[in-house]
Amino acid sequence: MKKDFIKELKWRGMLHDMIPGTEEHLEKNKTIGYIGFDPTSDSLHIGSLVPIFILKHFQNHGHTPIVLLGGATGMIGDPSGKSDERNLLDKEVLDFNEKKLTKQFEKFLDFKSNKSNKAILVNNYNWMKKFSIIDFSRDIGKHITVNYMMAKESVKKRISKDTTQGMSFTEFTYQLIQGYDFLHLYKEMKCMLQMGGSDQWGNITTGTELIKRKENKKVFAMTCPLIKKSDGSKFGKSEGGNIWLDKEKTSVYKFYQYWLNISDEDAVNYIKVFTFLSEHEIGDLINEHQKDKSKRLLQNKIADSITSMVHSEDDLLNAVKASKVLFGKSSKEDLESLDENTFNEIFDGVPSSSIDSKELAKGINIDILLAKDTNFLKSMGEARRSIKENSISVNKIKVSENTLVSNKDLINNKYLLLQRGRKNYYLVIVK
């Protein structure tokens, strides 16, 4: 068994805090540990990747990871780091979300092998549903004081004088329910460690305290830092919102582009967090990257690695191909290989206009298409000069003065892609 799990997290910048004795315990013992995920959506987003990667490192170092899906806590809503109360979800929605999330976890963690430390997935609804409020208050609630719960940062922020929102009793009980999860897993599965983001420290330590008071046993806890961008903005967000792991919510192309476009400063940090490359390999890559940042070596490595893990090698190849369509050398065949959604995403924001398919069926001379039927070029004279300079392409194919464009040239039976030089695009939509 590898015994350097904490050391691994430290050099990767993935360790924020831990209860004294945690590192020593993990060095000496094969340990069962868990991280909780509330199934509040039918997909994880890239902000969920950090705890998932921690569980994967945990398993790689010989320990047993538990993924706890919060079917019960997801009905309540975690107040940690929130200024407003979350919408409450019903059981049917949570069950659907659980099935979708399970498939995503399976891409990272080994649930099915015969190894003694194969991953385990549990849902806290299965044990919380058995509790009446009287039983829970009497058997669990009496062990944690209101004073203790009020002292938590997540609670103090929500009930401070600076907010008018306040905190419902429902949310107030969240940390106690999460604390019971740890107690339950300790008793039923000998789970000794809870992990999570640094914003979860209050909830996590409620669990360690509950076990200490009720069972007179010491268990352990550790947190990872919340990942942010170098400019201080929130990691995992784009202009369109969250970057999801489900390709139906965030296309593979958009997912790939997110990682490809991260800053150099972020790339130096993210290569450690979002790949499983060794310290030596990463050191070499960073050194090579510093020699010529224009090659974006780190960004490409991260984008390739994480896209193939979250999706597949084939999806990665298609995303790379799609990127080359816009930013590199590509052909008409590359354009034709793109599905319509990816095609639209690539050329989203590109100037466009529409023409009638009946007109196109007759055939349109290229200079007329460029200057009269579209607003791509200002005049017929400019169109002809550009064609003579060999700077005009239709669907990535260079054209001449005599080129006649017709329906047979359409991409996806709908589009013509006009291009001047390397970066000036214009989309013709045929109706």
Nearest CA among 366, 362, 345 for reference residue 416:
366
Contact 14, 23 (CB under 8 A): no
Residue 244: CA count within 13 A, CB half-sphere: 13
Residue 316: what pLDDT? 94
Residue 377: what pLDDT? 92
DSSP 187-200: HHH---EEEEEGGG
Q: Does domain 5-224 have CATH number 3.40.50.620?
A: yes
90 phi, psi to nearest 5 deg: -90, 170
CA angle 276, 277, 283 (to 5 degrees): 140
Burial 296-320 (b: 16+ CB within 10 A, else e): bbbbbbbbbbbbbbbbeeebbebbb
Q: Does domain 352-430 have CATH number 3.10.290.10?
A: yes
What percentage of the chain exceeds 70 in pLDDT? Answer: 94
Amino acid making up residue 15: L
| CATH architecture observed for domain 237-328 | Orthogonal Bundle (1.10)
Residue 136: alpha-carbon gap to chain centroid: 35
Residue 83: what pLDDT? 43
Residue 359: alpha-carbon gap to chain centroid: 45
Nearest CA among 217, 194, 240, 235 for reference residue 49:
235
Residue 341: what pLDDT? 80
Contact 116, 63 (CB under 8 A): no
Q: In Å, how far are 170, 200, 368 from 78, measured between CA atoms?
A: 10, 9, 61
pLDDT one-digit tens code per residue, 260-281: 999 999 999 999 999 999 999 9
- pTM comes to 0.84
Residue 100: what pLDDT? 94
Residue 346: what pLDDT? 86
Contact 64, 111 (CB under 8 A): no
pLDDT (tens, 9 = 90+) of the chain, 431 residues, equals 456 999 999 999 999 999 999 999 999 999 999 999 988 889 999 999 999 999 999 999 999 999 999 888 777 655 554 444 445 567 788 889 999 999 999 999 999 989 999 999 999 999 988 888 888 888 888 888 777 777 777 777 777 656 666 777 777 778 888 899 999 999 999 999 999 999 899 889 999 999 999 999 999 999 999 988 888 777 876 666 789 999 999 989 999 999 999 999 999 999 999 999 999 999 999 999 999 999 999 999 999 999 999 999 999 998 988 888 877 778 888 888 888 888 888 888 889 999 999 989 999 999 999 999 998 999 999 999 999 999 999 999 999 999 999 999 999 889 999 999 888 899 999 98
Angle, in degrees to the nearest 10, between helices 279-291 and 297-310: 140
What is the rounded CA–CA span in Å between residue 13 and residue 23? 16
CA angle 117, 303, 197 (to 5 degrees): 50
Q: Residue 32: helix, strand or coil by DSSP? A: strand
Domain residues of the chain, as ranges? 5-224, 237-328, 352-430
DSSP 8-state class, residue 43 = S
139 phi, psi to nearest 5 deg: -90, -30
Nearest CA among 317, 342, 324 for reference residue 396:
324
